[in-house]
């Protein structure tokens, strides 16, 4: 059972000193530290920490926002820690998932995250439906117009291979096939 610390500050100009002092005071066996935004998944030290930590270990952070990118990310971590028997201690917020009260606090945060995620999904679905009713087109605009699609179909009917169409129209293979399929569906 290893005690692992994780410290992070958002920018290069900030100092890790206060977090490191707190982590050392609780006798961490290993401390991962990095400087970078918590909103990105590209946190190499965090990834190393998550790969290193094992069942029975304890992860210690000074505050929850040092660990997770969002409440949803926190819920994901909670599920993993529960499944793998990893204990989380948050020094400044007095959370210890090794205790009943600590698990309650942490799980309350996870439930709130799940609730927020469900609300966001509902709002997104409603927004998409409204946009469709207003005839909003989704996705990137087509690289071809009706004239170009007709020209591609005509050249293909004349026996031009796909590779030649790609060069001639300066489009990707996918765009050529999409233009051919679109033209087929538009025919009476």
pLDDT digits (tens, 9 = 90+) for 93-118: 888 998 999 888 887 876 776 787 78
Q: Are strands 30-35 and 3-9 parallel, antiparallel or unpaired?
A: parallel
Residue for token pair 């270990």 = 57
Residues with a catalytic annotation lie at 10
Query: CA 84, CA 102: separation in Å to the nearest integer?
Result: 17
Gyration radius of the chain over CA positions: 27
Per-residue pLDDT in tens (0 to 9) along the chain, 188 residues: 899 999 998 877 788 999 999 999 999 999 999 987 766 767 899 999 999 999 999 999 998 888 887 777 888 888 899 899 999 999 988 889 989 998 888 878 767 767 877 888 899 999 999 999 998 888 888 888 889 999 999 999 999 999 999 999 999 999 999 888 875 655 54
């Amino acid at each position: 059972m290893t005690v692992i610390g994780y410290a992070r500050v958002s920018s290069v100009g900030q100092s890790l000193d206060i977090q490191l002092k707190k982590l050392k005071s609780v006798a961490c066996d290993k401390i991962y530290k990095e400087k970078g935004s918590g909103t990105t998944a590209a946190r190499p030290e965090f990834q190393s920490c998550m790969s290193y930590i094992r069942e029975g270990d304890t992860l210690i952070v000074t505050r929850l926002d040092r660990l997770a990118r969002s409440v949803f990310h926190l819920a994901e971590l909670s599920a993993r820690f529960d499944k793998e028997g990893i204990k989380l201690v948050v020094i400044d917020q007095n959370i210890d998932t090794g205790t009943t009260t600590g698990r309650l606090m942490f799980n309350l945060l996870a439930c709130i995250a799940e609730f927020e995620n469900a609300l966001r999904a509902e709002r997104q679905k409603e927004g998409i439906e409204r946009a469709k009713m207003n005839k909003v087109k989704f996705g990137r605009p087509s690289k071809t117009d009706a004239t170009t699609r007709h020209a591609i179909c005509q050249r293909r009917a004349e026996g031009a291979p796909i590779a030649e169409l790609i060069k001639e129209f300066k489009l990707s293979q996918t765009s050529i096939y999409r233009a051919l399929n679109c033209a087929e569906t538009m025919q009476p």
